[in-house]
């Protein structure tokens, strides 16, 4: 484990990844007086606009990563699919308070779920599968439906197969040879929630209010904070167990499922800022991005207070198409656009946060504004 030290404003924070998370991290860092270096393969990455040094290179370009390391006093990432051995070498050579071990564990759903289960926190029953026979055997034990997920590289529901029965396995073959897969019991969900926590390099933690997440096509669609059902303490207890087993520094988010009987399960962990905590920019005393910078640079962190309830919605390509200029008719909406040049359906182009005293009313209004045509 890396020794903690305080990094003062003026220092350079190097960020691997320059998407919207990198951009919002950089905005917090710049505001606090740090300088920012960013590495991203895309020429017009959102965080290019918020960096003092922008290195346009692939995530597996070792020379470019070294250039980032040499230019920075501290390294972090906004992106979790970094090549493991390369990240290990970065950890050996540079100050990377998050280390490599946790990221390596979380990069693979099987090792991730194993680690969570071994910590004593509850996970949905799962099994590694490498053929239809394994899936059937798993279903015989746990019951249908089953969800088969790629163990690596999946996000926003990519690489997932919902299997209702044996017949489905024939209808939609799973490409077992391409990568590793796990089968998981498919739950009848009551709710999905997430807990965002920041842990400083010397081990202090602060916790944001439990967030309630609504998904559509397996992409986060709305976040309501705080969650309309209060499981804050239960979620904190699960995170505590995980923190006793895995090293965390900076901000991370644990996603949970709640089933119809009220059972709380850990789904997955993102060791970086998370879409469901974007509302913290406007609704809390410090944002998840501020918290990440404070935690990594080992500065004191305030206890989190939320000023007002928040509803966050993602702005996907199709939402911008549908809304057009109407997006600007609502001064009460906090609209964030990430500055991505290509607008594509289902691509996260931005998000917006609405602070409200009446969550149900706000959700209803968003429905009328965004769903009149579809
Ligand atoms: P990703 O890495 O793509 O976010 P997740 O495992 O979080 O993958 O799955 C995405 C979404 O799919 C979840 O937020 C949930 O809505 C749904 N889902 C995934 N696994 C299950 C499950 N076992 N039971 C019910 N719904 C699930
Ligand atoms: Mg997820």
**pLDDT tens figures, 264-289:** 999 999 999 999 999 999 999 999 99
Does ligand 1 come within 6 angstroms of the Cβ of 112? no
Class of domain 12-96: alpha beta
Half-sphere CA count of 272, side-chain side, radius 13 A: 24
90 and 39 in contact (C-beta within 8 Å)?
no
What is the Cα–Cα distance from 102 to 171, expressed in whole angstroms? 37
Quote the ligand 1 centre to 241 CA distance (angstroms): 22
Q: What number is the average pLDDT over the span 255-263?
A: 98
Look at residues 214, 217, 195 and name the one whose alpha carbon lies nearest to residue 206: 195
Query: Atom of ligand 1 at shortest distance to CA of 158?
Result: 3
Quote the ligand 1 centre to 223 CA distance (angstroms): 15
Does ligand 1 come within 6 angstroms of the Cβ of 154? yes
Does ligand 1 come within 6 angstroms of the Cβ of 124? yes
pLDDT score, position 1: 43
Lowest mean pLDDT among 107-116, 130-139, 325-334: 325-334
Confidence of residue 218 (pLDDT cuts 50, 70, 90): confident
Inform me whether the pLDDT recorded for 172 exceeds 80: yes
Inform me whether the pLDDT recorded for 127 exceeds 50: yes
pLDDT score, position 67: 98
Quote the ligand 2 centre to 43 CA distance (angstroms): 27
* Shortest-distance ligand to the CA of residue 191: 1
pLDDT score, position 276: 98
Query: Tens digits of per-residue pLDDT, 287-330?
Result: 999 999 999 999 999 999 999 999 999 999 999 988 888 888 88
Query: Atom of ligand 1 at shortest distance to CA of 189?
Result: 25
Does ligand 1 come within 6 angstroms of the Cβ of 219? no
**Where does CATH 3.30.470.20 sit in the chain?**
189-371
pLDDT score, position 374: 43
Q: Where are the alpha helices (DSSP H) in 119-161?
A: 132-142
Query: Tens digits of per-residue pLDDT, 175-214?
Result: 998 899 999 999 999 999 999 999 998 899 999 999 999 9
Q: What's the gap between Cα 105 and its chain centre?
A: 15
Q: What number is the average pLDDT over the span 26-48?
A: 97
What is the Cα–Cα distance from 336 to 20, expressed in whole angstroms? 10
Q: What DSSP state is assigned to residue 164?
A: -
pLDDT score, position 55: 98
Q: Which residues contact 63 (CB under 8 A, 6 or more apart)?
A: 57
Whose alpha carbon is nearest atom 2 of ligand 1? Answer: 155
| CATH T-level fold of 125-185 | Dna Ligase; domain 1 (3.30.1490)
Whose alpha carbon is nearest atom 1 of ligand 1? Answer: 155
Class of domain 189-371: alpha beta
Lowest mean pLDDT among 40-49, 112-121, 282-291, 317-326: 317-326
> What does the block give as tokens for 124?
């949905």
Side by side, which strands form the sheet with 160-163? 126-129, 181-185, 146-150, 160-163
pLDDT score, position 372: 62
**Where does CATH 3.40.50.20 sit in the chain?**
12-96
Inform me whether the pLDDT recorded for 256 exceeds 50: yes
Q: Return phi, psi of residue 9, to 5°.
A: -50, 145
* Average model confidence (pLDDT) across the chain: 95
Look at residues 106, 267, 130 and name the one whose alpha carbon lies nearest to residue 186: 267
Inform me whether the pLDDT recorded for 3 exceeds 80: no
* Shortest-distance ligand to the CA of residue 190: 1
Quote the ligand 2 centre to 200 CA distance (angstroms): 24
Does ligand 1 come within 6 angstroms of the Cβ of 192? yes
Does ligand 1 come within 6 angstroms of the Cβ of 314? no
Half-sphere CA count of 113, side-chain side, radius 13 A: 18
Confidence of residue 335 (pLDDT cuts 50, 70, 90): very high
Confidence of residue 156 (pLDDT cuts 50, 70, 90): confident
Look at residues 315, 337, 331, 327 and name the one whose alpha carbon lies nearest to residue 369: 327
Quote the ligand 1 centre to 9 CA distance (angstroms): 39
> What does the block give as tokens for 125?
């029953």
Quote the ligand 1 centre to 218 CA distance (angstroms): 7
**Residue 10: how many other CB atoms lie within 10 Å:** 9
Helical axes 84-93 vs 62-71, angle rounded to 10°: 30
Whose alpha carbon is nearest atom 23 of ligand 1? Answer: 186
Does ligand 1 come within 6 angstroms of the Cβ of 204? no
Beta strands in the chain (DSSP E): 12-16, 35-40, 53-56, 74-77, 126-129, 146-150, 160-163, 181-185, 189-199, 205-207, 211-216, 219-225, 250-259, 264-270, 309-316, 334-337, 348-356
Q: What number is the average pLDDT over the span 63-70?
A: 98
Whose alpha carbon is nearest atom 14 of ligand 1? Answer: 218
Q: Return phi, psi of residue 143, to 5°.
A: 90, 155
**Where does CATH 3.30.1490.20 sit in the chain?**
125-185
Does ligand 1 come within 6 angstroms of the Cβ of 268? yes
Does ligand 1 come within 6 angstroms of the Cβ of 186? yes
Quote the ligand 2 centre to 269 CA distance (angstroms): 8
309 and 367 in contact (C-beta within 8 Å)?
no
Most confident of 4-8, 93-97, 328-332: 93-97
Q: What DSSP state is assigned to residue 341?
A: S
* Shortest-distance ligand to the CA of residue 219: 1
310 and 354 in contact (C-beta within 8 Å)?
yes
Contacts by 167-175 with C-beta closer than 8 Å and gap 24+?
169/132, 169/135, 169/136, 174/132, 174/135, 174/148
253 and 280 in contact (C-beta within 8 Å)?
no
Inform me whether the pLDDT recorded for 98 exceeds 90: yes
């Amino acid at each position: 484990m890396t020794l903690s030290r305080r990094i003062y404003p003026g220092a350079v924070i190097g960020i691997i990844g320059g998407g919207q998370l990198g951009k919002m991290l950089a905005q917090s860092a710049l505001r606090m007086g740090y300088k920012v270096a960013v590495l991203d393969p895309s020429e017009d990455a959102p965080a290019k606009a918020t960096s003092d040094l922008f290195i346009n290179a692939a995530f597996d370009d070792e020379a470019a990563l070294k250039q980032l390391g040499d230019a920075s006093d501290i390294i972090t990432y906004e992106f979790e699919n970094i090549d493991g051995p390369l990240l290990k070498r970065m950890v050996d050579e540079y100050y990377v308070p998050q280390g490599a071990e946790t990221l390596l564990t979380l990069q693979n759903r099987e090792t991730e779920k194993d680690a969570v289960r071994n910590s004593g926190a509850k996970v949905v029953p799962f099994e590694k599968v490498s053929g239809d026979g394994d899936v059937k055997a798993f279903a015989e034990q746990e019951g249908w439906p089953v969800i088969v997920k790629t163990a690596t590289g999946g996000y926003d529901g990519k690489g997932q197969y919902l299997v209702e029965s044996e017949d489905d396995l024939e209808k939609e073959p799973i490409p077992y040879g391409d990568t590793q897969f796990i089968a998981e019991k498919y739950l009848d969900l009551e709710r999905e929630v997430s807990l965002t926590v920041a842990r400083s390099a010397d081990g202090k933690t602060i916790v944001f209010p439990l967030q309630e997440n609504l998904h559509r096509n397996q992409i986060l669609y709305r976040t309501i904070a705080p969650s309309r059902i209060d499981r804050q303490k239960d979620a904190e207890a699960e995170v505590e167990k995980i923190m006793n087993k895995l090293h965390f520094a900076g901000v991370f988010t644990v996603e949970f499922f709640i089933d119809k009987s009220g059972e709380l399960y850990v789904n997955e962990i993102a060791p970086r800022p998370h879409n469901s905590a974007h509302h913290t920019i406007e609704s809390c005393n410090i944002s998840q991005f501020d918290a990440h910078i404070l935690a990594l640079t080992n500065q004191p962190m305030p206890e989190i207070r939320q000023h007002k309830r928040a509803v966050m919605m993602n702005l996907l390509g199709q939402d911008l198409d549908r809304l057009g200029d109407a997006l600007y008719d609502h001064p009460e909406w906090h609209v964030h656009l990430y500055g991505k040049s290509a607008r594509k359906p289902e691509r996260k182009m931005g998000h917006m946060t609405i602070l409200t005293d009446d969550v149900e009313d706000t959700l209803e209004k968003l429905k009328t504004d965004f769903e009149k045509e579809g």
